[in-house]
Amino acid sequence: MPRSRRIVIAVFPDVDLLDVTGPAEVFALANRETGGRAGYDVQLAGPTGGAVTTSAGVRLLADLSFAEVAEVAEVGGGGGGGVGGCGGVIDTLLVPGAVDMLPEGPVARIDQDVVAWVKQTAPGARRVASVCVGAHVLAAAGLLDGKRVTTHWSTAAQLAAEHPAVTVDPDPIFVRSGRVWTGAGISACMDLALALVAEDLGEKVALTVARQLVMYLKRQGGQSQFSVPLSRPPASRRDIEELRMYIAEHLDADLSAAALAGRMSLSERHFARVFRQETGTGPAAYVEAVRVEAARRLLESTDEPLEQVAAASGFGSVETLHRALRKQIDTTPAAYRRRFRTTT
């Protein structure tokens, strides 16, 4: 019999819909891709059970009330819907968030009933994870003191101001601190869930699920909430978009301005002007940023020697890799790997 992994996701009025359904879809696909071996049983728990209206206006149906979650854990079975109806001890407690839109911008909503339930329930879970502004709930429950965490960039300042004992890093997609995981904004819930799958079942299964989701890349935790392609404005010219794809897929090729201009059949001067107009940056700076992002992924997810990381990301030498990381993110490859290594 496959191991049962009970995933309890908190739902409450105005919760972000994707924060709930995104991870649930990842766990469901992990079950499918492993022939049920993953054993994930996803259950939604709400204040009173029954229907909950999300921020999108779509209603979700909670399998259990908050009170019933503890009851199921005590009897060790039954109760709740989900994939397999396993009940019992909570493997993963997943806490999404909700925001109130004020004139000055979004503010994370802190529902004290949800906070009290999380504070009571978290000690009995193998691991606890927040999605997006759900980090504010974990912080209010006292689960993040002394930890480095992330949340949606728009409420990071609020989290830091309200919880000075928490080290808030608004840049990464997700951060792991012992058994507590925190994820960044909205769609990053998929990256967080894939990381949880990778921890449980290995990188190969997580990558298989990512392919089924048609995700461009299973991003690692240290990656910025805005990857290089997303942080640049979309190009209006198809040939520039195709060139950007070529750059991402051929990092170890000659990506000098002269070589790229040749691919575009343009003079180097005219190419540089068009590229900057379309992307907001020069060709050399763009290529370096993409290579640094690739190097960061390798440093986070592999134990490859720095020589191989430098070669695979197109830097050619460890010295060049050092200079680029110092310039882009003010750190060294070794220091970055120690901080963001995700498979230990």
Q: Which two tokens stand for residue 250?
A: 């051929």
Kindly state the average pLDDT of the residues 36-62. Answer: 94
Q: Which domains does the chain have, with CATH numbers?
A: 5-212 (3.40.50.880), 227-344 (1.10.10.60)
pLDDT in tens, 187-243: 788 889 998 998 899 878 888 888 888 664 445 444 444 444 444 455 567 888 889
Directed axis angle between helix 333-340 and helix 318-329, to 10°?
A: 60
* Pair of tokens at residue 115: 């906070």
Mutual angle of helices 268-279 and 238-249, in 10-degree steps: 90
Over residues 102-118, the mean pLDDT reads 93
Residue 141: predicted pLDDT: 97
For residues 329, 335, 340, 344, the Cα torsion angle rounded to the nearest 10 degrees is 170
pLDDT per position as a tens digit, 263-316: 999 999 999 999 998 888 899 999 999 999 889 888 877 889 999 999 999 999
pLDDT of res. 30 = 96
**Computed over its alpha carbons, how large is the radius of gyration of the chain?**
22
Q: Which residues contact 79 (CB under 8 A, 6 or more apart)?
A: 64, 68, 71, 72, 85, 87
pLDDT band at 75 (very low <50, low <70, confident <90, very high): low
Q: In the prediction, which pLDDT does 122 show?
A: 96
Q: What is the pLDDT of residue 343?
A: 45
- Reference 135, options 102, 113, 157; nearest CA is 157
The encoded tokens of residue 265 equal: 């059949």
Contact 175/139 with Cβ under 8 angstroms?
A: no
**Confidence label for 81 from pLDDT (cuts 50, 70 and 90):** very low
Q: Is-above-0.85 flag for pTM? A: no
Residue 279: the pLDDT is: 85
Q: Helices 112-121 and 66-75, interaxial angle, to 10°?
A: 10
CA angle 57, 96, 222 (to 5 degrees): 125
Biggest CA pair distance of the chain: 73
Q: How far apart are CA 194 and CA 199, in angstroms?
A: 9
Query: Which of 95-99, 155-159, 293-297 comes out lowest in average pLDDT?
Result: 293-297
Contact (CB, 8 A) for 108 and 153: no
Q: Any idea which of 60-69, 143-152, 263-272, 290-299 has the lowest mean pLDDT? A: 290-299
Average pLDDT over residues 1-21: 90
pLDDT value for 314: 94
Query: What is the pLDDT confidence band of residue 328, given thresholds at 50, 70 and 90?
Result: confident
